[in-house]
Amino acid sequence: DIQLTQSPSFLSASVGDRVTITCRASQGINSYLAWYQQKPGKAPRLLIYAASTLQSGVPSRFSGSGSGTEFTLTISSLQPEDFATYYCQQLYSYPLTFGGGTQVEIK
């Protein structure tokens, strides 16, 4: 199985901050990576697919980059509605796996 390691697992930041979350894969996965945002009591929401493509309707302050084994999700200017947990998911091979999540909280 491909393991995904997200860092940090917890992040405290202020509105307006630039935030970067990293996802490392245990083996190369090309660009077959997605990022999701999840708020408490809600289903995950797709933000980024194919490592760097912004899903329709997602604000442009979100961006993704990387390929192979190292990926990043960046929020250029954190907004109040961005406080949530973020997950990466690899879609390169079965079984599909998720990272452990990064919880972004208000400083």
Partner 1 sequence: QMQLQESGPGLVKPSETLSLTCTVSGGSMNTYHWGWIRQPPGKGLEWIGDVRFSGATFYNPSLKSRVTIYLDMSKKQFSLKLTSVTAADTAVYYCGRRTTVAGGWFDTWGLGTLVTVYS
What SS3 class is residue 80? helix
User: What dihedral angle (degrees, nearest 10) is formed by the CA atoms of 13, 17, 22, 23?
Assistant: 80
Quote the least distance from Cβ 52 to partner 1, whole Å: 12
d(Cα 76, Cα 79) in Å, to the nearest integer? Answer: 9
Residue 45 is a binding residue for partner 1 (CB under 8 A): yes
Q: Among 5, 22, 31, 69, which residue interacts with partner 1 (rule: CB under 8 A)? A: 31
Q: Among 5, 55, 65, 76, which residue interacts with partner 1 (rule: CB under 8 A)? A: 55
d(Cα 23, Cα 67) in Å, to the nearest integer? Answer: 11
Q: Among 46, 58, 72, 83, which residue interacts with partner 1 (rule: CB under 8 A)? A: 46
d(Cα 12, Cα 93) in Å, to the nearest integer? Answer: 33
Residue 62 is a binding residue for partner 1 (CB under 8 A): no
Contacts with partner 1 by CB under 8 A lie at: 1, 30-32, 34, 36, 38, 42-46, 49-50, 55, 87, 89, 91-92, 94-101
